[in-house]
Amino acid sequence: MNPLFFGHSKSPLYGVYHKPESTSNKNEGVLLMPPFGQEYMRSHRALRQLAMMLAKKGIPVLRFDYRGTGDSAGDLYDANPKQWVLDAHTAVEELKETAGVNSVCLVALRMSGVIACEVVKTRRDISTVILWDTVTSGENYLNELRHDIANHPENAQSNFIDTEGTLHYNGFALSTEFQSQLSEMNLLTQGPPDDAETIYLVSAETDQTRQLRSLWDNKHSFTYKHIDTQGDWNYVDANGSILLPQQIIQYIVGRFNFQEAA
C-alpha cells in the first residue's frame, strides 16, 4: 500500500494506491469510492480488504477520500456533492497515470453511487460501474437520515436539524447547500450509463431497489444482484463496530477474471 496526496496542491486529496502483486493482461484499474460519515468508518475495513484482494489478482486499486472527509484537505461543511464529482474525476486520472491503465472500474458504496453515475456521464474511459448498496437518489438518502432523526429522539444530542437547516448525523454536518445539491442527483430519473457495464449489488431488497431494478432491467448493460448479507451501514454502537460483508467482497473480486500475462 502506498499512501499519497494528489490533485491540487492547495487542496490535495488523500488516497492509498494498491499496486498489483502480479501482472495481468487487463488494462484496467479499480477506483473505490467510499460512503459518507459513519458509513465511511463502518466500511473502511471492507474496502481495504477488497483493495488488497484485487491487488493480489493483478488489479491496481486506488482508495481515496473526498475533500472535507478523511485525510483530504478541507472542511466538510464547505464541501458539496458537485465538488465530490470533480474529486472523483481527479482520482480517475490519478489512477490511470499511476497504474498506466486506460480504463477504470468504479466501485461505489452507498451515497457514492450517485456520485459515480454523475462521473460516468462525461467519460468514455469507465468500463464498469459497480453500485454497492447505492441509494437510488440523494433525496431518498437524506430522507433516511431525517426519518431516523425523527424516530429516535434519544439520539437528539448528535442527530438533529438545526435552526439553519443543517443536518447533523452521527457527528457529521450537511449544510443546506450540500443537501440541495445532493437532492438533484437521482438515479430513478435516468438510465444506467450508456457506455459502461453497470452492476447493482444490494444486501437487502427494498421498494426503492426494486423500483430502480424495474426501470433499468431492460438495459443490456445492466445487472442486478441481490446478495443477502450485512448492510446496516449507519448503525452505531459503543464499540465502533464495522461491517465486513464477505459475500459481496468475494462477488466483486470474482468479476475480475483474467489470465496472468506471460
32 has pLDDT over 70:
yes
State residue 173's pLDDT score. Answer: 93
Q: What is the pTM of this model?
A: 0.93
Q: What pLDDT is stored for residue 261 in this prediction? A: 45
| pLDDT bucket at 231, cuts 50 / 70 / 90 | low
For domain 2-136+187-254, give the fold: Rossmann fold (3.40.50)
CB distance 95 to 125 below 8 Å: no
Predicted pLDDT at 22: 83
pLDDT mean across residues, the chain: 91
Percent of the chain's residues with pLDDT above 70: 93
Pick the range with the lowest mean pLDDT from 13-17, 125-129, 147-151, 235-239.
235-239
Per-residue pLDDT reduced to its tens digit, 112-140: 999 999 999 999 999 999 999 999 999 99
What would the pLDDT profile of 54-86 be if each residue is shown by its tens digit?
999 999 999 999 999 999 999 998 899 999 999
Rounded Cα distance, 132 and 122, in Å: 21
More confident of the two residues 34 and 245: 34
Q: Report, as an integer, the average pLDDT of 129-158.
A: 95
